[in-house]
């Protein structure tokens, strides 16, 4: 049985390989804008001399190099839709003991140049030609690659029924809150469901707890038994949501995950 | 020679020095955590149905049940691991069966030059045979003195520590020996065919 799936993967790779075999060269991007999303999260708009269209869900690598030659690299998901040409948005959470995100937040200014390469990643991707329905689950800054999908969907002519379940700590930690409200108000099949795990403001009508099987079941129900699922967030949230969806009957092969941060152990 | 690019205002954090610094491949950072990266849900294990198989270009396909696998001579391994997502972890302790030990039980056909590791959940990765032998790779069922947790690949995971960690296939169920190299899951999606962290073979074309 296992070897059958191996063979299937091999066959699929033959077609995937052709459009992925592109040399990824470093290029020097210019920071065109910096936008504060939440107290800990900023969006950096990068103008790219060698822009290529990306698929929502992909990321870029950033490389910082010191005068003494020391360099570091990190990957950041693309937040913007591929419809925007010549530039990309990277939304970055400031990690207190990090090395690249504190530099971007505290040192980098508009007009600075940054080395990047991408777009990278061919699995955690969605484009509007793929049929739905679509279930997106985000924890914290895990919303970023999903936002690229939501923005791409908004710009597309085909818009599958889509639900976003978005877990944040507090109201102030919700990234893209206004834009998500606006997109949901278009009433074109996108629904946004929030849960706030740490504190909820007076009159809060969303969920107020960590994601659990009951919540997953409620959010998934209108989408049928086998929606296409993308989950991105800290490891414990992704593990919990992915395993929970499998428990409530969503086929494992419909679920794609991207994890970041510590393992929580 | 082009002038190397320098990022304005970037100095970097104070780095580890000495032995530790020498063991961290280029552009990687040290972590003491053990991040989890998988493309889908964590498969649940059922040891009664588990087996490990070597097949393809071998004279006779060979399989071990979980109980049989536990009886194979195991060894302790202390290795440094590097993930293409940029983290490196030093001195990880594993217990498992060397691929050399497994290959003693099969007759490899001389044409066999590559292996595809295949897994529960459908994941695959390709590895050259020379990267799997001579004590370089093992199938681990214990990590830091305890049974390997499912989210880290338990019940058993291939570990090829000198290559980026996506080659160390979680939930591994077997090796398929081939004459030609067949790109596996990530290798078909833009990642490097071999993945040597010291050469920074991250993506196709690196």
| Residue pLDDT, tens place only, B166-203 | 999 999 999 999 999 999 999 999 999 999 999 999 99
Mutate to test the interface with B, among A2, A107, A250 (most CBs of B within 10 A): A2
Predicted TM-score (pTM) of the model is 0.87
The percent helix, strand, coil of chain A (3-state, each to 5) is 30, 30, 40
d(CA A173, CA A158): 31
Band (A6; pLDDT cuts 50, 70, 90): very low
**How would you list the strands of the sheet with B62-65, edge to edge?**
B62-65, B51-56, B172-178, B114-119, B124-128
| Chain B nearest CA to A239, separation (Å) | 7
Q: What is the DSSP string of B114-137?
A: EEEEEETTS-EEEEEGGGTTTTT-
Residues of A with Cβ-Cβ distance to B188 under 8 angstroms: 9, 12-13, 16-17, 20, 122
Please judge whether A70 and B12 are an interchain contact, meaning their C-beta atoms are less than 8 angstroms apart: yes
Contact B4, A216 (CB under 8 A): no
Q: What is the pLDDT of residue B53?
A: 98
| Chain B nearest CA to A70, separation (Å) | 7
Q: pLDDT, tens digit, for every residue of A57-94?
A: 999 999 999 999 889 999 999 999 999 999 999 999 99
Mutate to test the interface with A, among B4, B32, B185, B190 (most CBs of A within 10 A): B190
Sign of CA dihedral B153, B123, A227, A260: positive
Q: What is the pLDDT of residue A2?
A: 28
Contact A158, A127 (CB under 8 A): no
Please say if the pLDDT value at position B150 is more than 80: yes
Please give the share of chain B, as a percent, with pLDDT higher than 70: 98
Please judge whether B38 and A259 are an interchain contact, meaning their C-beta atoms are less than 8 angstroms apart: yes
Of residues A148, A157, A104, the one with CA closest to residue A128? A157
CB atoms within 10 A of CB B177: 22
Coil vs helix vs strand at A68: coil
d(CA A123, CA A257): 9
- The interface predicted TM-score of the complex, written ipTM, equals 0.82
Coil vs helix vs strand at A261: coil
d(CA A241, CA B77): 33
Chain A contact for B180, CB < 8 A?
no
Contact A139, A111 (CB under 8 A): no
Of residues A63, A144, A69, the one with CA closest to residue A104? A63
Please judge whether A10 and B116 are an interchain contact, meaning their C-beta atoms are less than 8 angstroms apart: yes
């Amino acid at each position: 049985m296992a070897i059958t799936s191996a063979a299937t993967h091999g066959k699929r790779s033959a077609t995937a390989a052709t459009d992925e075999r592109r040399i990824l060269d470093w290029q020097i991007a210019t920071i065109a804008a910096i936008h504060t999303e939440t107290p800990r999260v900023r969006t950096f708009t990068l103008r790219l001399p060698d822009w290529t269209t990306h698929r929502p869900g992909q990321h870029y690598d950033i490389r910082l190099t010191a005068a003494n030659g020391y360099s570091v690299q990190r990957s950041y998901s693309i937040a913007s839709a591929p419809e925007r040409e010549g530039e990309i948005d990277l939304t970055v959470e400031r990690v207190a003991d990090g090395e690249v995100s504190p530099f971007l937040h505290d040192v980098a200014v508009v007009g600075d140049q940054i080395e990047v390469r991408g777009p990278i990643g061919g699995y955690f991707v969605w484009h509007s030609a793929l049929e739905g329905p679509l279930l997106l689950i985000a924890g914290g800054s895990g919303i970023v690659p999903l936002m690229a999908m939501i923005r791409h969907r908004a710009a597309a002519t085909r818009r599958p029924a889509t639900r976003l379940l978005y877990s944040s700590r507090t109201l102030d930690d919700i990234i893209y809150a206004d834009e998500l409200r606006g997109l949901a108000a278009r009433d074109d099949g996108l629904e946004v469901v929030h849960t706030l795990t740490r504190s909820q403001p007076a009159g809060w009508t969303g969920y107020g707890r960590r994601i659990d099987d009951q919540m997953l079941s409620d959010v998934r129900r209108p989408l049928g038994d086998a929606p296409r699922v993308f989950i991105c967030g800290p490891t414990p949230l992704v593990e919990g949501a992915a395993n929970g969806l499998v428990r409530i009957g969503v086929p494992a092969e419909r679920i794609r995950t991207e994890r970041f941060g510590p393992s929580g152990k | 020679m082009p002038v190397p690019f320098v990022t304005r205002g970037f100095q970097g954090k104070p780095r580890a020095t000495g032995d530790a610094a020498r063991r961290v491949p280029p552009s990687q950072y040290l972590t003491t955590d053990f991040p989890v990266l998988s493309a889908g849900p964590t498969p649940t294990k059922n040891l009664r149905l588990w087996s490990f198989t070597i097949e393809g270009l071998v004279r006779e396909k060979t399989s071990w049940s979980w109980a049989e696998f536990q009886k194979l001579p195991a060894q302790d391994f202390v290795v440094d691991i590097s993930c293409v997502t940029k983290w490196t972890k030093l001195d990880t302790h594993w217990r498992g069966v060397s691929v050399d030990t497994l290959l003693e039980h099969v007759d490899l056909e001389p044409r066999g030059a590559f292996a595809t590791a295949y897994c529960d959940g459908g994941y695959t990765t390709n590895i050259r045979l020379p990267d799997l032998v001579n004590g370089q790779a093992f199938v681990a069922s214990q990590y830091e003195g305890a049974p390997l947790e499912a989210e880290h690949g338990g019940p058993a995971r291939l570990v090829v520590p000198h290559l980026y960690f996506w080659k160390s296939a979680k939930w591994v169920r077997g090796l398929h020996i081939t004459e030609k190299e067949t790109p596996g899951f990530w290798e078909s999606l833009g990642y490097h065919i071999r993945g040597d962290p010291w050469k920074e073979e991250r993506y196709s074309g690196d």
